């Protein structure tokens, strides 16, 4: 069996992966002497900005949404990388909201073995979905021919850490903020804007319902 896919005690859950990844990011920047901060997203903000962690460096804010690694076990054989996948259906609506939020990336760990936790950053794919809707994402599964996300290992939107941060430095990833416009300001404005949009939609639905009700009375 491939060692990196060998469960020890049990398969890690999302909050374990999240802690290992955050620790890896912090260590990376500490060793380089580069300012960077990573901190958790509150449940209130996550409902409109669906990330587990804020990541702020080089004047840019990025969202990181962690998903645990899973294996599709087939009988009479040891699992390999064709069995490695991530389920993106939970919670409902999160996938579609991430599609619309360019600065949020899925963090997809490529290991099951806890022994590799100190190297979580190197064994993680930072990925954004395209416009296609499919909640089961595979590392490299030729059996899932009809799934547009059946080969994330070489997907154009899938980045390993080094290239991911290089694109952050090049301003290709993240929302650039000014000295006066902090991450708090950005997220507050974003949440306010989304809340206003939701209210408008609710008002439109109420007006439509009221109009139908009046038509019914007239009849």
Give residue 51's Cα distance to chain centre: 6
Residue 199 class from Cβ within 10 Å (0-12 exposed, 13-18 middle, 19+ buried)? Answer: exposed
- Which residue ranges of the chain lie beneath pLDDT 70? 1, 178-219
pTM above 0.75, yes or no: yes
Q: What is the pLDDT of residue 199?
A: 52
Q: Hey, is 54 helix, strand or coil?
A: strand
Structure tokens at 107: 């963090």
What are φ and ψ of residue 42, in 5° steps?
A: -70, 150
Q: What is the pLDDT of residue 203?
A: 59
Cα–Cα distance, 70 to 149 (Å, whole number): 15
What are φ and ψ of residue 165, in 5° steps?
A: -70, -30
Cα–Cα distance, 155 to 158 (Å, whole number): 5
What are φ and ψ of residue 71, in 5° steps?
A: -125, 135
Element (H, E) at 15: helix 14-32
Among candidate residues 61, 68, 65, the one with its CA nearest the CA of residue 16: 68
Please check whether residue 186 is in contact with residue 177, taking contact to mean a CB–CB distance below 8 angstroms: yes
Cα–Cα distance, 141 to 150 (Å, whole number): 5
Q: Which residues of 17-46 are buried (b: 16+ CB within 10 A; e: fewer)?
A: bbebbbebbeebeeeeeeebebeebeeebb
Q: What is the pLDDT of residue 188?
A: 59
Strand 175-176 versus strand 136-138 pairing type: unpaired
Q: What is the pLDDT of residue 183?
A: 52
Q: What is the pLDDT of residue 83?
A: 95
Domain range list for the chain? 3-176, 178-219
Q: What is the pLDDT of residue 217?
A: 40
């Amino acid at each position: 069996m491939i060692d990196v896919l060998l469960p020890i005690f049990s398969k890690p859950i999302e909050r374990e992966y999240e802690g290992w990844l955050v620790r890896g990011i912090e260590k990376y920047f500490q060793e380089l002497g580069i300012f960077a901060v990573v901190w958790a997203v509150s449940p209130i903000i996550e409902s409109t900005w669906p990330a587990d962690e804020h990541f702020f460096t080089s004047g840019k804010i990025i969202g990181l949404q962690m998903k645990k690694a899973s294996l599709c076990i087939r009988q009479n054989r040891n699992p390999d990388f064709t069995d490695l996948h991530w389920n993106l259906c939970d919670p409902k609506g999160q996938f579609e909201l991430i599609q619309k939020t360019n600065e949020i990336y899925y963090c997809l760990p490529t290991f099951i073995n806890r022994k590799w936790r100190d190297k979580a950053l190197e064994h993680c794919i930072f990925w954004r979905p395209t416009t296609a809707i499919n909640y089961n994402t595979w590392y490299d599964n030729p059996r899932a021919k009809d799934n547009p996300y059946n080969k994330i290992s070489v997907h154009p939107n899938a980045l390993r850490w080094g290239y991911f941060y290089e694109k952050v430095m090049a301003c290709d990833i993240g929302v650039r903020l000014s000295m006066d416009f902090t991450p708090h300001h950005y997220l507050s404005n974003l949440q306010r804007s989304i809340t206003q949009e939701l209210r408008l939609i609710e008002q439109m639905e109420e007006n439509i319902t009221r109009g139908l009700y009046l038509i019914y009375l007239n009849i």
